[in-house]
Amino acid sequence: AASPGRPVPGTDFEPVAPNTQDALVVAKGHQQNVVIRWGDPVVGGAPKFDPAKQTAAAQAKQFGYNNDFVGLIENGRDRWLMVVNHEYTTEVQMFPAGTYDANNPTEEQVKIAWAAHGLSVVQVEKRRGGGLEAVSSRYNRRITLDTEFEVRGPAAGSKYLKTSADASGKRVRGTQNNCSGGVTPWGTVLSGEENFHQYFANSDKVTDPTTQARLKRYAIGTGTSTRKWERFDKRWDVAQEPNEPNRFGWVVEIDPNDPDSTPVKHTALGRFKHEAANVKIARDGRVVVYSGDDERFDYIYKFVSKGKYKPGTSSLARRHNSALLDEGTLYVAKFKGDSPAAEIDGTGKLPADGEFDGTGEWIALASGDKSFVDGFTAEEVYVFTRLAADKAGATKMDRPEDIEPNPVNGRIYAALTNNTDRGAAGKAGVDEVNPRNGNKNGHVLEWEEDHGDAASTKFSWRLLLVCGDPATADTYFGGFPKDQVSPISCPDNVAFDPYGNLWISTDGNTLGSNDGLFSVPVEGPERGHVKQFLTVPYGAETCGPVVTGDFVVVAVQHPGENGTPTAPTSHWPDGGNSLARPAVASVWRG
Ligand code: FEO
Ligand code: CA
Ligand code: CA
Ligand code: CA
């Protein structure tokens, strides 16, 4: 094992101890503020937030619910366009006690939920010696479940995307379940439509066996939906609109510098529960996008464009580079361990060579209009990507969450959040890249593409972290002494500071304390030295992280989740008896 070195630049702070406070607790010597919270004004004319008098029209101008991904795009000195995903709604926490009946929501309540989805673009400014502040600007924008999107790429206009409301198969109303995302080198934002399946009803009433198998593989909702949206718009009723679910599950692109632009759904990147999408430019200038499918036993993908990147963020460069995402090759990952299978015993014990590691290859699924998968047209590969990847023999992973290239060392990092079904009866057993049965704390994967080229079809990999309680034998912290690290469970989002240290936010901590944000150096003697930088309020998930040399931004998602207005478990950030409000916070030294 490595011996601990000096604190690495960017990680020189005293770790926060695990806790269950209803507060954002940050490392000593740091301050914090709320940048913007659910209900705060985003665009002109937004009324003051009043949950007792909320309307859909008000919500469509206010900051949405359940902030997840946060991207900052420079827009001047100490000024950024902040782009935020609003992943999903928790109606029982959004309306005052006794005013929301889950069995019988009102039409207005349902429309409020639609308006609380999507994304926000908000200009933010850094105050001298302080945090970020949201300001009004001509760029401020809300995108909701009612905003029109343009469908592009090989599945645009596909028969599988046509509905009674859109005979073209090229115009989709809205985006939903936008989980994580990425800022592109050309200054736009990619956002992944993740758990889109949960809002649909009655997929069990579809009788055609091929359609039924496809709906099932994507777990599209059966029977009455939890939110009952199908009562107010038939597009959520799969029995009436069997293709509507095919219009979600894409990577969408937003151009925050052009507030009038029509956002795009990029079909060449495949359709699955996209957690995020992050770009790396290949040696020859082709654009590579990494994305994971967050489901137990699902896959890691990458897309390699046909055309080449033009550096810059001008509107010309943005248009050129965005169009690159519409033609290329879609791959899925297959991993191979280098230790004998008998040494991977499912307990998390390291094999004799001292590492969970090996090599892998990218299997091409389709390129342009050519399919490489038997029994699938290219169109079917893009729309029913999961089934094509099943057929191709990809490696079943422990819920791939965020994936991001490290801008300093060039390697790629993926959070595999957990998979309690690993090794269960009738399910896939362990392999070297998913080495624990009943994996409840997750792990962090690192790989390098051959020749350091993002377009390579081969790579080598190793697990950086096998998460959990460092005091137990089933965890691994990059070889760093385990008595000196913070416990970490359920890694979800990943980010890098300017020094190339990895920052990990968590969702679903099983170790009895709140979720949080952690730093971990990935090079030198401090590699694997996990330190907790902050904890989020009770019931919340830590999202978003942006880590600059100056400040950290986190999205506090679903504070008090699983509480109710009458028995809330969080009143963050407003305190007293207020409804908990998902919010973006900034943290700085001072
Ligand atoms: Fe929305 Fe995979 O977390
Ligand atoms: Ca090995
Ligand atoms: Ca996530
Ligand atoms: Ca998660």
- pLDDT for 147: 98
Within 8 A by CB and 6+ apart from 114, the residues are 56, 144, 145, 146, 174, 229
Start-to-end CA distance of the chain, whole Å, equals 35
> For 136-162, what is the mean pLDDT?
98
Read off the tokens for 202. 């009655």
For residues 225 and 371, state if they share a domain.
no
In a domain, 557, yes or no: yes
Cα 181-182-183 angle, rounded to 5 deg: 140
Report the DSSP pairing between strands 264-266 and 148-152.
parallel
Ligand 1 near 275 CB (within 6 A) = yes
Which residues are close to ligand 3, an ion, with C-beta < 5 A?
Answer: 179, 492
Of all ligands present, the nearest one to the C-alpha of 543 is 3
In a domain, 1, yes or no: no
For residues 142 and 128, state if they share a domain.
yes
For residues 225 and 252, state if they share a domain.
no
For residues 308 and 416, state if they share a domain.
yes
- pLDDT for 535: 98
In a domain, 584, yes or no: no
Ligand 1 near 561 CB (within 6 A) = no
Give the model confidence (pLDDT) of 477-491 as tens digits.
Answer: 999 999 999 999 999
Q: Sheet containing 551-557: give its strands across.
A: 30-37, 583-589, 551-557, 541-547
Ligand 1 near 87 CB (within 6 A) = yes
Of all ligands present, the nearest one to the C-alpha of 354 is 2
- Using CA atoms of 503, 508, 514, 518 in order, give the dihedral in degrees to the nearest 10: -10
Of all ligands present, the nearest one to the C-alpha of 493 is 3
For residues 268 and 304, state if they share a domain.
yes
Give the model confidence (pLDDT) of 378-423 as tens digits.
Answer: 999 999 999 999 999 999 999 999 999 999 999 999 999 999 999 9
Give the residue whose CA is nearest to atom 1 of ligand 1: 179
Q: Evaluate if pTM is beyond 0.95.
A: yes
Give the atom of ligand 1 at the shortest distance from the alpha carbon of 294: 2
Ligand 1 near 179 CB (within 6 A) = yes
Ligand 1 near 194 CB (within 6 A) = yes
Query: What is the 354 CA–ligand 3 centroid distance (Å)?
Result: 30
In a domain, 393, yes or no: yes
In a domain, 34, yes or no: yes
The values of phi and psi at residue 57, to 5°, are: -65, -40
Query: What is the Cα–Cα distance from 561 to 68, expressed in whole angstroms?
Result: 14
Query: What is the Cα–Cα distance from 386 to 395, expressed in whole angstroms?
Result: 12
For residues 234 and 357, state if they share a domain.
no
Domain count, the chain: 2
For residues 46 and 187, state if they share a domain.
yes
Give the model confidence (pLDDT) of 525-559 as tens digits.
Answer: 999 999 999 999 999 999 999 999 999 999 999 99
For residues 236 and 375, state if they share a domain.
no
Q: What is the CA radius of gyration of the chain?
A: 23
Query: What is the Cα–Cα distance from 446 to 460, expressed in whole angstroms?
Result: 9
Query: What is the Cα–Cα distance from 190 to 173, expressed in whole angstroms?
Result: 17
SS3 468: strand
Give the atom of ligand 1 at the shortest distance from the alpha carbon of 177: 1
Instruction: Report ipTM for this prediction.
Output: 0.96
- pLDDT for 396: 98
Query: What is the 359 CA–ligand 3 centroid distance (Å)?
Result: 26
> For 451-458, what is the mean pLDDT?
98
In a domain, 589, yes or no: no
Report the DSSP pairing between strands 357-367 and 370-371.
antiparallel
- One-character DSSP codes across 231-261: GT-GGGBTTT-TTGGGGSSSEEEE-TT-TTP
pLDDT band at 569 (very low <50, low <70, confident <90, very high): confident
Task: Say which amino acid occupies 562.
Answer: N
In a domain, 385, yes or no: yes
In a domain, 585, yes or no: no
- pLDDT for 2: 43
Give the model confidence (pLDDT) of 187-211 as tens digits.
Answer: 999 999 999 999 999 999 999 999 9
For residues 187 and 218, state if they share a domain.
no
For residues 177 and 224, state if they share a domain.
no
Q: Which of 182, 203, 201 is nearest to 191 (CA)?
A: 182
For residues 298 and 370, state if they share a domain.
yes
Range of the domain at 150: 25-194+203-210+242-568
Query: What is the 489 CA–ligand 1 centroid distance (Å)?
Result: 15
Ligand 1 near 401 CB (within 6 A) = yes
For residues 364 and 469, state if they share a domain.
yes
Give the atom of ligand 1 at the shortest distance from the alpha carbon of 179: 1
